[in-house]
Amino acid sequence: MGIRGFVGSGDSAPAFSADVLRIEVVGDVGLHLTVVDLPGLVSVENEEHDTHDIKLVEDIVDSYLQSSRTIILAVVQATNDIATQPIIQCAHHIDRAGERTVGIITKPDLINKGTEGRIAHLTNNLDSTRLKHGFFLLKNPSPQQLEEGLLGDHLERELPKVCAEVRLLLDKTKVQLQDLGQERPTVSEQRFFLKRNFPNRLRGQIHTLNSLFADYMRDKSQKRKTERVPIDDLFESSADSEEDREKEDKYDHSGDADEPFYMNETEFDRWIKKIYRNTRGLELPSNYNNAFLTELFHEQSSRWPAIAKRTHTSRPRGDTHICYSGAGTCGQRRAHPSGYTQDPRPLPSKQSQHRAGRKARHDRANTVLEHGLQSVSDDWGKIHVSNTPHDLAKLLGSLQNHVVVNMEQQACEEAKAGLAAYYKVDMKTFVDNVCRQIMERHIVRNLRHLFTPTDVLAFSDEEVELIASEPNSRQDRRKELKILEKHLEESFFELCS
């Protein structure tokens, strides 16, 4: 620059130069402006500043202040008379409306005692020299405060918080990197990725299919599924009309493997009564033989083989098609759900089924009791059960109204409770058999021969890169996170050292 004080410059060199020392900050700083530190205006010539220096400084200041995009930060000392400061006069001359000028008052700690009121008025923009956007006070620590270490104590208190925030951000960055998965930039790493992750991917897809199959069996495996109806309909006792009997024979009970046959509670009870009459033997009224429950269970579970066959033979979507496209050639013998000949007779010897049946009957009795108590409360108000004959008579009378006196309906209600219990237990057993014996033993076990490490080695580099390489967006995101992780680790080390 050729200014005084540098090597090669004599004593006659100027103190200022029109050249600009420019410092660029690169990064996501969020600043869309340029900060220019101009030299202070010089009013009087001295040994350091001659007439040329004074004129050069004025020209530099005027060139920046005259731009309409410049925000003028007029810096003045609190110890001086603000009205006579050259920068205030220059800013007022160039920016008469005051739209671009903001006052900055420095060194308020150097003012004399008793003159604090003047600085307070000036800061509040109440003095004779006023700016449209006012003045702002800038106070640095005084020498006494620096000696007392007030700033150091503050930094010492706040530094652990900064370290904790940096550590938290570093942990979040590492978690995001882990979520991106294993990095595989080279072809060899991509081959290793295929060989190692194929069994895990296959196991995950099999688990998903088994879960979907179990959920479907739980919700829609019945051949006939009832809709929710008010509880009063469960205790109504009425004889079937001839019209209902004719309508019952016209129902299409074939069903399919996709959806059950939906019906209301009345239609479901009518179907149970029809099976009861067809299987009726010499048993006493309100009782039923084993063939009745056998036929009910056989009808309700008739869709199971079709559902299981559709589940394990259908071709999944997505990235698992490579596994299942050759499932038919995995072994010489392939299992089918139809091969699991399910015994249509309920198995009353199973302890779990006995418990389920007792629980179903107990729940039904509780429902009747709850409904009876609710009826007493509706008819007589809040009830307090005691040993008085009056209270007992009200309770027994309400329960008597919900006792099923139709022997045929009583037998059907008992069979329906037993059917629900046996169906739940056997459905779980069937799902477990399909998932373990069909999927695991006859399909998944043979799939390990479908895609082997030898097949991966036979792929060309282009094929491996096409299958196992990361998307460009993920690669860019990984680079950003790695750079951020590196900077955070360096910052954390410097702060904690």
Per-residue pLDDT tens for 406-432?
A: 677 777 887 788 788 888 888 888 888
The confidence score (pLDDT) of residue 17 equals 67
- Predicted confidence (pLDDT) at residue 169 exceeds the cutoff of 90: yes
What is the C-alpha separation between 342 and 326, in angstroms, rounded?
29
Res. 355 pLDDT band, cuts 50 70 90: low
Cα–Cα–Cα angle for 318, 321, 325, rounded to 5 degrees: 165
Site of tokens 């008793």: 114
Average pLDDT, stretch 318-329? 38
CB 353 within 8 A of CB 346: yes
Q: Count of CB atoms within 10 A of residue 16's CB?
A: 18
Task: Give 177-232 pLDDT, tens digit per residue.
Answer: 998 888 888 888 888 888 877 777 778 888 888 888 888 888 888 888 887 544 44
Structure tokens at 77: 């000392």
Average pLDDT, stretch 302-320? 66
Task: Classify 136 in phi/psi space as left (phi over 0), alpha (psi -120 to 50) or beta.
Answer: beta
Average pLDDT, stretch 352-378? 62
Average pLDDT, stretch 236-262? 51
What is the C-alpha separation between 104 and 139, in angstroms, rounded?
10
Higher pLDDT, 397 or 260: 260
What is the C-alpha separation between 96 and 248, in angstroms, rounded?
97
pTM: 0.47
What is the C-alpha separation between 45 and 50, in angstroms, rounded?
5
Q: 3-state SS string over the chain?
A: CCCCCCCCCCCCCCCCCCCCCCCCCCCCCCCCCCCCCCCCCCCCCCCCCCHHHHHHHHHHHHHHHCCCCCCEEEEEECCCCHHHCHHHHHHHHHCCCCCCEEEEEECHHHCCCCCHHHHHHHHCCCCCCCCCCCEEEECCCCHHHHHHCHHHHHHHHHHHHHHHHHHHHHHHHHHHHHHCCCCCCCHHHHHHHHHHHHHHHHHHHHHHHHHHHHHHHHHHCCCEEECCCCHHHHCCCCCCCHHHHHHHHCCCCCCCCCCCEEECHHHHHHHHHHHHHHHCCCCCCCCCCHHHHHHHHHHHCCCHHHHHHHHHHCCCCHHHHHHHCCHHHCCCCCCCHHHCCCCCCCCCCCHHHHHHHHHHHHHHHHHHHHHHHHHHHHHHCCCCCCCCHHHHHHHHHHHHHCCCCCHHHHHHHHHHHHHHHHHHHHHHHHHHHHHHHHHHHHHHHHHCCCCCHHHHHHCCHHHHHHHHCCCHHHHHHHHHHHHHHHHHHHHHHHHHC
The confidence score (pLDDT) of residue 172 equals 94
Quick one: CA dihedral 59, 64, 66, 67, positive or negative?
positive
- Predicted confidence (pLDDT) at residue 327 exceeds the cutoff of 60: no
- Encoded amino acid at 245, one letter: R
Terminal CA-CA length for the chain? 40
- Predicted confidence (pLDDT) at residue 150 exceeds the cutoff of 50: yes
Task: Give 458-494 pLDDT, tens digit per residue.
Answer: 888 888 888 888 888 888 999 999 999 999 999 888 8
- Across 101-115, 161-175, 239-253, which has the greatest mean pLDDT? 161-175
CB 442 within 8 A of CB 333: yes
CB 221 within 8 A of CB 307: yes
Cβ-Cβ contacts under 8 Å for 184 (sequence gap 6 or more): 190, 192, 193, 468, 469, 470
What is the pLDDT of the chain when averaged over all its residues? Answer: 73
Res. 349 pLDDT band, cuts 50 70 90: very low
- Across 44-48, 156-160, 253-257, which has the greatest mean pLDDT? 156-160
The confidence score (pLDDT) of residue 240 equals 46
Average pLDDT, stretch 28-50? 69
Res. 56 pLDDT band, cuts 50 70 90: confident
Average pLDDT, stretch 443-448? 73
- Predicted confidence (pLDDT) at residue 341 exceeds the cutoff of 50: no
- Predicted confidence (pLDDT) at residue 90 exceeds the cutoff of 60: yes
Q: 80-94, 135-149, 240-254, 304-318: which range is least confident on average?
A: 240-254
Q: Map out the domains of the chain as residue ranges.
A: 147-183+470-497, 198-355+409-467
Angle at which helices 407-433 and 290-300 cross, to 10°: 50
CB 217 within 8 A of CB 297: no
- Predicted confidence (pLDDT) at residue 173 exceeds the cutoff of 90: yes
Structure tokens at 114: 């008793």
Phi, psi at 73, each rounded to 5°: -100, 95
- Predicted confidence (pLDDT) at residue 247 exceeds the cutoff of 70: no
Higher pLDDT, 332 or 477: 477
